[in-house]
Amino acid sequence: MKIKALFCCILCSATLLAQKATLKGVITDADEGITLIGVNVFIKGTSLGAASGLDGDYEIRDIPAGEYIVEFSYIGYEKKVFTGIKFNEGEVKVMNVELGTTTLTLDEEIVVIGEKPLVDIEDSKTQSTISSDIIEAAPVRQIQSILNTQTGVVQNAEGVHIRGGRSYETGFYIDGVSAQDPLAGTGFGIDLGSNAVNKIEVTTGGAGVEFGDATSGVVNTKTRSGGDKFALDFSHKRDNLGFTKDWDASFNQQVFEFGMGGPTKLLKKILPGKLKFYTSVNLNFSDLFMKKPADQLYSSLYSDTLDFISKNRPFLTPYQDNRWNGMLKFNYEFNPRKKLMVSYVKAININQDRNMLRITGNEVSFRPGYQYDFELQPDNANTYTHDTNLETVQWQHTTSNKFSYKVSASRLFVHLRADANGRDWRPRVVDSEFEPRSIVENPVEYFNPNDSIVFVNPGPGLYNNGGIATLWHDHYVEEYTVQASGTVYSKDALNRLIFGTEFKHQDMQWIDISRPWIGAPLPLASGELSQTFRLGDLSEVWRVKPVKGAFFVEDKIKFRGLIAHIGTRLEYWLPGKFVDDAVKDSTAPIRDEIRQQYMDQTIGLGNRRVKLRMLPKVSASFPIRENQVMHFNYGHSTKLPHPTFIYTGLNPFFTDQSTLSNLGNPNLNPEVDISYELGLKSQITSNDALNVTAFWKDKYDFITSTSILVEDFTGREVNRTIRINSDYARVRGLEVAYIKRIGKWFNGQISGSYSIASGQSSSSSESLKEILATGNRESTKETPLAWDSPLDLKAFTVFTLNRKEGLWGKKGFNLMSLYVEAVFRTGRRYTPYIYIGDEPTSGRPIYEVDSDPENRFSKLSRPGFWLNTNYKKWFTLKKTQLALTLEVTNVLNNKNTAIVNPVTGRAYENGDPVPTEWRDPEFIDPRDFRSHNRPPFNPARYYELRHFMI
């Protein structure tokens, strides 16, 4: 019996072995027809591979039946990738391949034969690419909104969060160059029109060593270039069609896009080669879904830019939200090995969105930027002007088949102004009301007219006395960046080394004044004017010139299906002369231990001090079965602190003297993220892919606030609020994404993620509140972070009909596309309020915040659901295409919560109980005269309701 069992096992093994397929063939030079020796042949997603022999022949055995991608690569020749290659049981498939010679490196010229792979199954990064086709099909009004459909990305009222990180932790790049304003804290950077974008690469895990100052993820937008033929496009979208003006779904929005590009004969006689250009202009105007715009916005930065028709109204601000952006780009190809790119991008945003200026999410509450306090007098609210300019020059040169390098130089110039809707920063004479407090004006209504002591009913709770916005702010950043990188391939093409450097010089100026009219001259009875030397109620002024940069190297090794990336990034940071001088100045308000720590933790470089940080990065992918690859990522990354946390108040002659005023910490260090990722990529078929990823992020040295005693210029000790590296946070989660393609007519993705983001505080100002209330920090335990959104489910599909005879043979059912996306997401985090009892006089129920520190942000509001769609029908007339689109966002008109009523866990609705510090419309109380007791009817308490554009 044992002999028979052994014989059966041997027979079964031989049968299984016989069922495996074989791939063989001969590889030749496409031009000369000679055979090529040593060509690498890989079946991607497996450990199977071979190299061609002396006669150019190769053979790969024991291939399990299935569908694969076969890759042929050889130094000096184009890389060929064949997709959708099917192997049957026992089949011997012959693939004789011709490779054309190239002067480029191995990854610069790739020929894909068959359908483009849905995912790069061997890539160890977690990255998705949003093509221009998807961007064009989606109902996109701003580029960042398309990110909301990507796995692990959540967009809310404050910005974009990737894998539970803060909005400022994401790195936003345009053509590989950082496009963020380091002072605004708004995250996304420069606005771009959708017609200016070629594709967007979203990396949520395992970003390369060339990217720095980003701890959550990297969004790299690659702009469009001119093609081989001249092309021009124009589009106009609007929701106000006259008869739709008063519809709830009409926000009085208009979008204009213009693009033009192609080859040009400019310099043709002077320089050989190909010169192509592309230019785009995008104008986006809207009165927003609140529909309570100011009569007219004015920007003091563009006060001379008037409408050429009316002559007395600003040309740049016809609506409440005004976004202008444009791009001009030239690509010059001397030859396939030498390429030059020059581009200029400019964006001007003018609106009253308070989130235009956010100190990296730490100093503004987590809510929409609508200035509800000024709803009764929106002309007196803060107007924000953000002017951003990015100029880039890139040179790429392939010196041989084994080596190429790239050098880029860029200049980013950003100017942001916040003022009281274009008014001068300070009045010449204080001769009117400027403080925008809510007051009770005649005639008044009495609360208890029959009592001995009479009270009057409160004012509206909103600014109504003609007062103006209390903030005047101006900052600029001029940032020069030089990047250089090189790529070297080994002779057998199995090893690739990337190395490079980055140098960034910044010139930053910050002016921040609260209530700037304080200190201005007052008219006296004598007819003269008083004069003080006070610069507003609070003020902060500094100019600094820090330097930062990095050296990086990464080695890619490929062996028997295993692909490993081992790299490191050495970052350096020079806070600048401003800090170095302050540390040496004994009169500067810096404690001695902080001075000593700064000297101990920095290295002298000439007459400057520099900080260093080594950031290791390791990733690998390896097949565990056919077309199924496991990948692993481990990496360190950092995010520099906001400059205000470092430089504020260090000049002893310009120090704010108010109680617990802010003071910079010259020895503040970058926040650190250590991330781990383990994932599984499955190429089920050439049209089906499944990705599963688990991740864990530990975040150290988060910035928080503490109170310290320092000596002021008089020598006495005073309290100051200083930022320190103390907080800790972590994020852990699981992501699943399934991608499906059916021919040319269907493309879609469904994904979901579950994650938990917790930490010691959601912002550096949280601990400040505890300091002000109790004098110390109460708890160091982890609680959910304010932006934590555990469950995030999303899907999008694109249906396209472009056939010769149309659907069902009907020509009318042709040349059309339908895009549909759906997002379901758990609600916003909030700290619950507890019922205490009823007020004796009015009977109003009293709700006070749960004081247990462990219950901070412990509750989730009602979940949100969005359904968006875009239908497009086009006609072709000779060389011209005309298209009509109808796009609708929030089709079901769901009231998704943006501002949570912490008593009910949803946005306020009529009759709901509210916290004690809110104004309750059901119980009018004279004590609501306090200006912070606002009515709960903020229209921004909901996310955008149904909106359509054609």
* Mean pLDDT, residues 453-461: 78
Nearest residue to 701 via CA among 611, 769, 773 = 611
Residue-wise pLDDT tens digits, 45-100: 899 999 999 999 999 999 999 999 999 999 999 999 999 999 999 999 999 999 99
Q: Are 937 and 462 in contact (CB under 8 A)?
A: no
Q: For residue 717, what pLDDT band results from cuts at 50, 70 and 90?
A: confident
DSSP 8-state class, residue 449? T
Q: For residue 722, what pLDDT band results from cuts at 50, 70 and 90?
A: confident
* Mean pLDDT, residues 210-217: 91
Report the DSSP pairing between strands 717-742 and 662-663. Answer: parallel
pLDDT at 119: 86
pLDDT at 808: 72
pLDDT at 17: 47
Please, which contacts does 443-447 make with residues 24 or more away whose CB atoms are closer than 8 Å?
Answer: 447/924, 447/925, 447/926
Q: For residue 268, what pLDDT band results from cuts at 50, 70 and 90?
A: low
* Mean pLDDT, residues 801-813: 77
pLDDT at 515: 92
Q: Are 602 and 611 in contact (CB under 8 A)?
A: yes
pLDDT at 39: 94
- Estimate the crossing angle of helix 592-600 against helix 577-584, to 10 degrees: 130
* Mean pLDDT, residues 352-381: 80
Residues contacting 660, CB < 8 A, separation 6+: 707, 719, 720, 721, 768, 771, 772
Residues contacting 923, CB < 8 A, separation 6+: 839, 842, 843, 844
pLDDT for residue 399 is more than 90: yes
* Mean pLDDT, residues 793-799: 95
pLDDT for residue 362 is more than 50: no
Q: For residue 3, what pLDDT band results from cuts at 50, 70 and 90?
A: low
The torsion of the CA quartet 218, 222, 223, 225, rounded to 10 degrees, works out to: 170
* Mean pLDDT, residues 282-308: 86
Nearest residue to 935 via CA among 912, 919, 916 = 919
pLDDT at 861: 94
- Look up residue 939 and give its two tokens: 């229209």
State phi, psi for 943 to the nearest 5 degrees. -70, 170
Distances (CA, A) of 864 to 47, 139, 155, 895, 907: 44, 19, 12, 8, 11
Amino acid at 250: S
- Write the DSSP assignment of 771-793 as a string of letters: HHHHSS------EE-TT---EEE
pLDDT at 892: 96
Amino acid at 644: T
* Mean pLDDT, residues 171-193: 84
* Of the listed ranges 73-87, 412-426, 556-570, 648-662, the one predicted with least confidence: 648-662
Which residue has tokens 């990948």? 631
- Look up residue 841 and give its two tokens: 């006089």
Q: For residue 310, what pLDDT band results from cuts at 50, 70 and 90?
A: low
C-alpha 934/C-alpha 915 separation (Å) is: 11
Provide the percentage of residues in the chain whose pLDDT is more than 70: 91
Residue 836, number of CB atoms within 10 A of its CB: 11
C-alpha 173/C-alpha 160 separation (Å) is: 14
Provide the percentage of residues in the chain whose pLDDT is more than 90: 59
3-state secondary structure of 132: helix
Nearest residue to 866 via CA among 775, 943, 754, 759 = 943
* Of the listed ranges 144-153, 229-238, 509-518, 936-945, the one predicted with least confidence: 144-153
Q: Are 888 and 946 in contact (CB under 8 A)?
A: yes
More confident residue, 270 or 730: 730
Nearest residue to 889 via CA among 943, 938, 817 = 943
pLDDT for residue 529 is more than 90: no
pLDDT for residue 594 is more than 60: yes
Which residues in 262-289 are b (16+ Cβ under 10 Å) and which e?
A: ebeeeeeeeeeebbbbbbbbbbbbbbbb
Q: Are 638 and 664 in contact (CB under 8 A)?
A: no
Q: Are 504 and 474 in contact (CB under 8 A)?
A: no
> Residue 390: which region, alpha, beta or left (left: phi > 0; alpha: psi -120 to 50)?
beta
Which residues in 381-415 are b (16+ Cβ under 10 Å) and which e?
A: bbbbbbbbbbbbebbbebeebbebbbebbbebbbb
Amino acid at 18: A
Q: For residue 361, what pLDDT band results from cuts at 50, 70 and 90?
A: very low
**How big, in percent rounded to 5, are the helix, strand and coil portions of the chain?**
10, 45, 45
Q: What integer best gives the mean pLDDT of the chain?
A: 88
Enter the pTM of the model.
Answer: 0.91
Q: Which residues pair with 617 in a beta bridge?
A: 567, 635
* Of the listed ranges 228-232, 235-239, 841-845, the one predicted with least confidence: 841-845
Q: Determine the number of helices (DSSP H) and then strands (DSSP E) in the chain.
A: 7, 46
pLDDT at 12: 46
State phi, psi for 865 to the nearest 5 degrees. -140, 130
Distances (CA, A) of 582 to 478, 604, 612: 23, 16, 20
Residue-wise pLDDT tens digits, 633-672: 999 999 999 999 999 888 877 655 554 478 889 999 999 9
Residues contacting 306, CB < 8 A, separation 6+: 312, 313, 314, 315
Q: Of the spans 228-237, 514-523, 801-810, which averages the highest pLDDT?
A: 228-237
pLDDT at 240: 92
Q: Is the N-terminal amide bond of 336 cis, ω within 30° of 0?
A: no
* Of the listed ranges 283-287, 317-321, 357-361, 381-385, the one predicted with least confidence: 357-361
> Residue 842: which region, alpha, beta or left (left: phi > 0; alpha: psi -120 to 50)?
alpha
C-alpha 930/C-alpha 909 separation (Å) is: 22
Nearest residue to 70 via CA among 61, 80, 82, 58 = 82
**Distance separating the N- and C-terminal Cα atoms of the chain:** 79
Residue-wise pLDDT tens digits, 10-57: 444 444 445 789 999 999 999 999 999 999 999 998 999 999 999 999
* Mean pLDDT, residues 907-924: 90
pLDDT at 771: 47
